[in-house]
Structure 1
Amino acid sequence: MDQFKNIGVIGRMGSAKVVESLRELKRYLISNDYHVIIEEETATMLPGHSLQVASKKLLGEICDLVIVVGGDGSLLGAARELAKSKIPLLGVNRGRLGFLTDIGPAELEEKLGKVLAGDYIEETRFLLDGFVERNGQPLGFGTALNDVVLHPGKSTRMIGFDLFIDGHFVYSQRSDGLIVATPTGSTAYSLSAGGPIMHPKLDAIALVPMFPHTLSSRPIVVDGKSEIKLVVGETNETYPQISFDGQMNISCAPGDIIRITKKPFKIRLIHPTDHNFYATCRDKLGWASEITAG
C-alpha cells in the first residue's frame, strides 16, 4: 500500500509558473493512480480540473501528504494552517529563494517519483505562538514558522520595550523593534538584521534587535523552551505592531504584554534524499563552493 495515497495540493495564487507546475503535478499524480485533492482557492487556477476540492483545514484531515507549489511564503502559510494535523509537507519551488521549497520545476517528476516511492528525508520544524495582552485581557494571537516581530509599523520612531526571558528581566531597549526567530526563520528576515544562521535541528530561539539605539545590543540565542515576554514601554508615542511571518499584524499600545512560546505542534517537512542544509546555504546565500587555488 502506498504511504502517500491521498495527496493534497496547494498553489500560490496569481502566478502563471505555478499554474504550469500544478498542471504537470496533476497529470503526473493522476497517471500514477494517486488520489489528488486540490485546495479550494488553488482550484480556481485550474478550471475544469475535475478533482476533489477541500479547504486547507480539511486537507489536513484527509491527506497523507500535502504538496505546496510556490515559494517559501506559500509553504509558511500552509505550515501555519496545517501544524495541528501533523501532515507532512513537500515544497515545489516556483518562488525566489526556496530554503523550504527545494524541488525545482525541471526535476519535479524525477524527485517527486522518488519521494512517493519512499526515498526521502523527513524533518520536523517548530513554530512559535504569540499572545498579546492588554490590561490582563487577551487581545490577539498568532502563529509563525519563521518569526514573530515587534516593529513600528508605518511610524519611523523607535520603540521602547522591556525584554524578559523565563520571567527574568534581560534589558530595556530602544530600537526599531525585535525579531524573535526560529531556526527556520534564521535564514529569513532575521538574517538581514544581522541575526545568526541556526541549523534547523537546533532547539533554540534567536532574539535579534532591529537597529538598536546602543551598539552593545547584540542578538541573543536562547533555549527553544523559553518563554519570551515583551512589555511595550508606557512612554511610547507610537503604537507598534506585532507580526507573524510578516503576514498578520496586531496593533499594540503602551503597556501591552507580548508572550512568545514554542507551539506544541511541529510541522513535518519532506525533502528529496539529496537535500542538504549547507548546500542550500551555499546556493541561496552565495557562499563559496570550493577553496580557490592560490
Structure 2
Amino acid sequence: MPINSVVFEPNDIRRRKSSLVPSTAPRPAHRRQKTQCFVHTLLEKPDGISEKDCNVSYEGLAQERMLDKDPHGLADESHHSRLLTKKQISDMAFGIRELSKKLAQIRIKLHVRNIFILAKAHDETLIKHTRETVEWLLKKDPKYRVYVEETLEHNKLFDTKGLLERDSSFEGRLRFWTNELCHDKPQTFDIALALGGDGTVLYASWLFQRIVPPVLAFSLGSLGFLTKFDYEQYPQTLSRAFDEGITASLRLRFEATIMRSQNRDGDNDRRDLVEELIGEESEDHHTHRPDSTHNILNEVVVDRGPNPTMSSIELFGDDEHFTTVQADGVCVSTPTGSTAYNLAAGGSLCHPDNPVILVTAICAHTLSFRPIILPDTIVLRAGVPYDARTSSWASFDGRERVELKPGDYVTISASRFPFPSVLPLDRKSKDWIDSISRTLQWNSRQRQKSFKEWAS
C-alpha cells in the first residue's frame, strides 16, 4: 500500500502550545521495542533498543513459554500468533491498538493505481453496479488499473467486450483477480472497494488472509455494521478519498488454528485432553499437529453441527483450564463480531476499539453460564474431550466448516494482521454508535411525556 503523505487532522487533537515540541528539537531517546505487528511497516519501522541483561522473575520466565504445539518445527513463528510467547502477543496487541489510535487521527493520502472491486458475482443488481463503477474509474484517470472477479470476464451482463469497445484506453487497464492472486500477492492492490453488505466485507477478510488493503465498503445489503458509505454517492466518495486521503480503523482479527490429535497408541479411551494441554504431558509436542489456520474478522464457532445431542467442549485460557461447556456450542467473537452471532446468542455489544475477546455459550445446558469478556492477550483453546459422545464442528466467519473429532481442538489468538476499514471523514468519531442506532434501533423508544402541573 504505497503512501504519498500523512495529513494530521487539526480538529482531532487539542494540545496546549507548551506541549508542542519545536520541529528543530532533537528527537528524544525511546525504549520502544519491536513487536510482531505487521501493520507498523505501513507508517514507520521501529528500531527499538535492546534490553540489558537482568534477572527475570518466575512470572517473566513463564511468559516466555510458547503457548501451543509445533511438533515438527516447520511453522514460521512470525506468521503464526499461536506460536508467539505471552509477552510477544501482549506487545503485538498493544502495538496494533497504539497504531490504530494514530491512524484515527490522520488522513493517509494513497498513491492509488491498482483498485480491487469485490461484489457478489451472481447478483444481477450488483453486477450492474460493478460495471458502472469500473467504467467511472477507468474514465476518471488513465493511470488506474481496476481488478474485478475473474468470473465476470465472460459474464454477459458485465459485458467485458462491450466495455472495451466503448473506449480503447480501457484495454489492459481492466483486469481480473483470482483467489490465488489475493493470497499470493495482496500487496498488488492499493485499495479495495466492497459493494454489498457485511457478508461482502467478511468475504474480503477471507480472501486476504494476511495483508489486507484498506477496504472502503459501500452499503448495498440489508443490514450493515461494516458498510459505511452510501453507494449513490460513490463518485463524490471515491473522488474525495483519492484526492484528500482516507482515515482507517484497524479492526482486530483472530488467528484460529485447528489442531488434530495424533493417534499414538490407538487407544484414545485413556487419553485426557486437559492433561495433554496443561498437565504433565503439555510439553509433549507429539500429541497434536496443526491442520489449517484462518484469520477471521467476526467469530469462531464450535457447535454440535448435525448431531442430535449437545456438544461437550473443554475451554482453556493460556495454561489454565477454564471450564467444560455443555451446550449447542460456543461463540468466540472479536469486538467487531459482537453485533453478529455473538449478539444473537445473548452476548454483549462491544465497541470495536476494545482490546477483548468475547466468549458466549450457544444455548448452554446450565443457566449460570453467562457471557464472559477476556483480554485479547489470552490464547484460547476450545477442544473436544476424548470421552465426548459425538464430534463437534468448527466454522470461521461462517466458512471453512470442519469436523472436530474427540481429541481435536481449535487455538484462538489475536492475529498480527488486522483489518483496515475506511471510515467517513466527517463522522468517524461517532461511526459505531451511528451504526448500532441505525441497524438495531438501539435504545429506541417513544419519549416519555412530561407532567402538566395542575394549578389550583
Q: TM-score, normalised by structure 1?
A: 0.92
Report the Cα offset of residue 97 of structure 1: 1.3
Alignment of 1:283 with 2:438, yes or no, is yes
Equivalent of 1:171 in 319, 323, 328: 323
Deviation digits for residues 241-276 of structure 1 (CA, Å, limit 9, x no counterpart): 010001111101112122111111112111222341
* Distance in 2 of aligned mates of 1:21 and 1:218: 44
* Distance in 1 of aligned mates of 2:378 and 2:125: 41
Deviation digits for residues 154-203 of structure 1 (CA, Å, limit 9, x no counterpart): 12311112111111111112111110000111111111001111111111
Question: What letter corresponds to residue 122 of structure 1 in structure 2?
Answer: A
- Equivalent residue for 2:150? 40
Report the Cα offset of residue 117 of structure 1: 2.2
Report the Cα offset of residue 80 of structure 1: 2.6
Question: What letter corresponds to residue 217 of structure 1 in structure 2?
Answer: F
* Distance in 2 of aligned mates of 1:218 and 1:129: 24
- Equivalent residue for 2:277? none
Kept after mapping to 2: 8 A contact 1:57/1:82: no
Select between 276-285 and 266-275 the one with higher mean Cα deviation.
266-275
Kept after mapping to 1: 8 A contact 2:209/2:295: no
- Equivalent residue for 1:224? 376
> 1:290 and 1:115, CA in 2 relative to 1: closer, same or farther beyond 3 A?
farther
Give the paired residue count: 294
- Equivalent residue for 2:399? 247
* Distance in 1 of aligned mates of 2:225 and 2:439: 8
- Equivalent residue for 2:308? 156
1:198-237 equivalent positions in 2, closer than 5 A: 198-237=350-389
- Higher RCO, 1 vs 2 (CA within 8 Å, ≥6 residues apart): 1
Report the Cα offset of residue 27 of structure 1: 2.4
- Equivalent residue for 1:22? 130
Equivalent of 1:81 in 203, 207, 223: 207
* Distance in 2 of aligned mates of 1:179 and 1:44: 40
Equivalent of 2:181 in 58, 61, 65: 58
Select between 96-105 and 246-255 the one with higher mean Cα deviation.
96-105
> 1:269 and 1:65, CA in 2 relative to 1: closer, same or farther beyond 3 A?
same
Kept after mapping to 2: 8 A contact 1:146/1:182: yes
Kept after mapping to 1: 8 A contact 2:384/2:391: no
* Distance in 2 of aligned mates of 1:236 and 1:212: 16
Report the Cα offset of residue 85 of structure 1: 2.4
Q: TM-score, normalised by structure 2?
A: 0.61
Say which structure is richer in strand.
1
* Distance in 2 of aligned mates of 1:144 and 1:21: 27
Report the Cα offset of residue 8 of structure 1: 1.2
1:132-143 equivalent positions in 2, closer than 5 A: 132-133=258-259, 134-135=261-262, 136-143=288-295
Name the SS for the 2:326 alignment partner. strand
Kept after mapping to 2: 8 A contact 1:65/1:88: yes
Question: What letter corresponds to residue 239 of structure 2 in structure 1?
Answer: G
- Equivalent residue for 2:447? 292
Report the Cα offset of residue 121 of structure 1: 2.5
Select between 1-10 and 143-152 the one with higher mean Cα deviation.
1-10
Report the Cα offset of residue 70 of structure 1: 1.8
Gap regions ≥5 residues in structure 1 = none
- Equivalent residue for 2:8? none
CA RMSD, Structure 1 to Structure 2 (Å)? 2.0
Gap regions ≥5 residues in structure 2 = 5-109, 165-173, 263-287, 450-456
Select between 266-275 and 237-246 the one with higher mean Cα deviation.
266-275
* Distance in 1 of aligned mates of 2:153 and 2:377: 39
* Distance in 1 of aligned mates of 2:153 and 2:421: 23
- Equivalent residue for 1:110? 236
Name the SS for the 1:265 alignment partner. coil
Kept after mapping to 2: 8 A contact 1:114/1:272: no
> 1:10 and 1:190, CA in 2 relative to 1: closer, same or farther beyond 3 A?
same
* Distance in 2 of aligned mates of 1:155 and 1:117: 54
- Equivalent residue for 2:284? none
Name the SS for the 1:222 alignment partner. strand
Equivalent of 2:226 in 100, 120, 133: 100
Report the Cα offset of residue 128 of structure 1: 1.3
Report the Cα offset of residue 83 of structure 1: 4.5
Say which structure is richer in helix.
2
Name the SS for the 1:13 alignment partner. coil
Name the SS for the 1:264 alignment partner. coil
